[in-house]
Amino acid sequence: MSNLGQQFDTAIDIVTPENIAFQYRLAGPFQRAPAYVIDTIIRSTVIVILGCIGAIAVQSAAPLLILHFGIEWFYGGVFEALWHGQTPGKRLFRLRVLTIHGQPINGVQAVMRNILRAADMMPAFDAARDVPVFGQFGYTFQLGILSCLLTQRYQRLGDLATGTMVVVEEPQRLYGVVQIEEPEAHRLAAELPAGFQVTRGQARALSQYVQRRRGFPWPRREEICRHLGEPLRQKFGLREGISYDLLICALYLKVFVEEHPDYLTSQQPPISAPNLPPEFRR
Amino acid sequence: MKVADLLAARSQNWAELQHLCTIMDRRSKSRIPPEAINRFAALYRSACADLALADAYHLPPNTVAYLHQLVARAHSQLYRSRGIDLGQAIKEIFVNTPQRLFADNALRLAFLLFFGLFFLAYYLAFYMPEFADSVINFDGSTTQTDSLREMYSHGFDDGRDWWQSSSMAGFYISHNASIGIVCFASGLLFLGVGGLPTLSFNAIFLGAVFGYMDTTPQAQNFSEFTTAHGPFELTAIVLSAAAGMRLGFSLLNTGELTRMASLRKCGRETSPMIAAAVVLFIGAAVIEGFISPSALPYAFKAVVGAGSSAILLFYFIFLGWPWNEAKAKPAPTEFPAGSWEYAVSRS
């Protein structure tokens, strides 16, 4: 609970039993709405098609009515229990339901949070309520949205009662070190003093810049790099008028590609995950 | 070690972990060879270590983002929810739940409210026809009472055919159980009393219908129709309203927990209640569709009604009775296996 104190955007820290902190991105109500619409369409289609086939097959309206009941109430719960927190709509939009501790939800949580959606859907237009299948369009979802806005993990009432949250699983590709083609940068890198070490913040700034520099026109690159480049130029005693962009690239090459201080000899390995479990952090 | 070398060395491992995660997503764990699972654990640990040391390694931010996603993905494979433990489930259904229900004030309150209003409305409708008129024709029409009389004016000699019986059973399941679930969910609103309007309305309406029908010549048919499914159906609506009420009250009376923790605990405890209510609704619907309107003799319907009452009494009273005081205490809240916070909070 208390690890929410440091949260300032949609990223939420999960501390694993290995004492590693990794991040999930929370899904807000409007990110979840498209998934719900898709699920609603799937649900209604299945009810109508299977229900009608069943009704003709057994000569009774019972299949239609029972399917309507079963699928309306248990579609989400069954899928989330079997697909580890995902329904077809959630899978399409890469959402997943987890417990607030970042662990997969169990069947009871899955079914309960879906049953309790009935409370989140309130208030409703009375006229629409009793229309089968399409009746759900009469619900305004205002309570659910309000509850999402008031809680830090964007939980609706059903999430609060079962201790769950919805996160986005962004697919990430692994990019290697950026290739720098300019020969000038490689030449400059050789000129830089051998023992120079950058701080962590500088290393982060370097890699962030080099990853994105291709998107900027030349004058803009110079403008961005001047703030770091000018002090570095003076420190290294390089000639005036040098391209700051290339200087930064050279430093990047030096730090990331050609030489890197062995962290074990220079300092103790830092611990990025807190030693205290989150319950005891204040 | 250079970052470029480090990435070259590790990206192989990360890709392999990614691949194993994909396999585990698709197949059940039992069909994955043990070596692969061992390998998965080792790779997960090393990815964790890489993430922990990402800053010290000077890894670029997009690599760190990649590692966050990779560790998260592997984490949700490694720490999966436990499947349902059958013995635990049976103990929860037949031991813990009845005892919790027996001592549950919300259930007592809902029970008293429902049957209090029911009998009040019954006697008012029985002795004051205008009360029955205004309640049963609550939507302003004057035809409801007539159609009620009309509905029960035929005897049961013809029974019903398959189409009618099964369709009505389907309708009762869909309609009544949905009312129950909505009644439960609205308990979360207005701090526990959100389900009470539904409960009270049903109690007064049903009471008025019973009272009114007993003054008409169709009284015999009506009571024959309602005997068999009444116990299940009335208990189910009380149960779902009580479960909703408990959920709402857990926000007010939190014990020694925080408000949200109290709500979560109560959510776990009320889930068997609402499950029981849904089962009762379905049972009532099947009886109401197939037995109540059928041409079977009245004695049979009475036996069904008595039998279902006996089942309910056995479950709520016999299993719920605090036979020994130690057992009557609410069972400690169960945490899922592998829940490491549990271990932490105990230490």
Confidence class for position B337, pLDDT limits 50, 70, 90: very low
Between chains, do A162 and B339 touch, taking CB under 8 Å as contact? no
- Picking from B85, B188, B346 by the largest number of A CB atoms within 10 A of its own CB, the best residue to mutate is B188
Instruction: Output DSSP code: residue A270.
Output: P
Query: Which chain A residue has its CA at the smallest distance from B26's CA?
Result: A83
Confidence band (pLDDT; 50, 70, 90) for A126? Answer: low
pLDDT at B141 over 70: no
Mean pLDDT in residue range A154-167: 88
Could you write out the three-class secondary structure of A239-265?
CCCCCHHHHHHHHHHHHHHHCCCCHHH
Residues of B (168-197) whose Cβ lies below 8 Å from A? 169-171, 173-174, 177-178, 181-182, 184-186, 188-189, 194
Q: Inter-axis angle of helices B230-252 and B196-215, to 10 degrees? A: 150
What's the rounded Cα separation, in Å, for the pair B40 and B125?
71
Instruction: Inform me whether the C-beta atom of residue B82 falls under 8 Å from chain A C-beta atoms.
Output: yes
Q: How confident is the model at residue A267 (pLDDT cuts 50, 70, 90)?
A: very low
Q: How far apart are CA B47 and CA A246, in angstroms?
A: 33
Mean predicted confidence (pLDDT) in B202-231: 80
* Cβ-nearest to B51 among A20, A106, A118: A20
Model pLDDT, residue A90: 92
pLDDT above 90 coverage of chain A, percent: 9
Overall average pLDDT of the A204-217 stretch = 84
Q: Within 13 Å of residue A194, how many CA atoms lie on the same side as its CB?
A: 0
Domain ranges for chain B, please list them: 3-78, 86-328
pLDDT for the residue A1: 40
Tell me what pLDDT residue B325 has: 59
- Residues B34-69: pLDDT tens digits? 888 888 888 888 888 888 887 777 778 778 888 888
CA–CA distance, B171 with B165 (Å, rounded to integer): 10
Choose the closest CB to A270 out of B55, B80, B194.
B55
Burial-class residue A179 by CB neighbours within 10 Å (0-12, 13-18, 19+). exposed
List of chain A residues whose C-beta atoms are within 8 Å of the C-beta of residue B161: none
Q: How many whole angstroms separate alpha carbon B33 and alpha carbon B267?
A: 38
Chain B residue closest to A265 (CA)?
B1
Which residue of chain A has the CA closest to B47? A20
Does A84 contact B173 at a Cβ distance shorter than 8 Å?
Answer: no
B58:A260 CB<8 A: yes
* Other C-beta atoms lying within 10 Å of the C-beta of residue B124: 18
For residues A115-125, give the mean pLDDT.
77
Query: Whole-structure pTM over 0.80, yes or no?
Result: no
Average pLDDT over residues B245-262: 84
Do the Cβ atoms of A162 and B264 come within 8 Å?
yes
Mean pLDDT of B197-216: 83
Q: Which of A24, A108, A260 sits opposite B271 (nearest CB)?
A: A108
Question: Across residues B15-32, what is the average pLDDT?
Answer: 80
Mean pLDDT along residues B209-238: 80
Beta bridge partners of A14: A22
CB of A26 closer than 8 Å to CB of A166 = yes
Quickly list DSSP for B326-339. HHHSPPPPPPPTT-
Mean pLDDT score of chain B: 78
What CA–CA distance (Å, rounded) separates A37 from A168? 17
The structure tokens 């806005």 sit at A149
Rounded to the nearest integer, the mean pLDDT of chain A is 78
Contact B79, B340 (CB under 8 A): no
- Of the candidates B135, B278, B247, which has an alpha carbon nearest to the alpha carbon of residue B200? B135
Q: Which residues of A touch B11 (CB under 8 A)?
A: 174, 176
From chain A, pick out residues whose CB is under 8 angstroms from the CB of B189: 119, 122, 143
* pLDDT of A3 strictly over 70: no
Res A35: pLDDT: 93
ipTM of the complex: 0.70
**A209 contacts A233 by C-beta, under 8 angstroms:** no
Test the B interface: residue of A26, A84, A103 with most B CBs within 10 Å: A103
Residue B257 has pLDDT above 80, yes or no: yes
Distance CA B336, CA B341 (A): 10
B164 pLDDT more than 90:
no
What ranges do the domains of chain A cover?
2-168, 183-266
Nearest to B92 by CA among B340, B284, B332, B323: B332
- Tell me how long chain A is: 282
Return the exposure string of A211-247: e unless at least 16 CB atoms fall within 10 Å of the residue's CB, then b: bebeeeeeeebeebbeebbeebbeebebeeebbbbbb
Q: How far is A162 from chain B (nearest CA, A)?
A: 5
Lowest-pLDDT choice from A112-121, A188-197, B14-23: A188-197
A residues 213-252 near B, CB within 8 Å? none
Residues 46-65 in B contacting A (C-alpha not used; CB under 8 Å):
48-49, 51-58, 60-63, 65
The pLDDT, as a whole number, for residue A2 is 41
Among A179-193, B23-37, B172-186, B327-341, the minimum mean pLDDT is found in B327-341
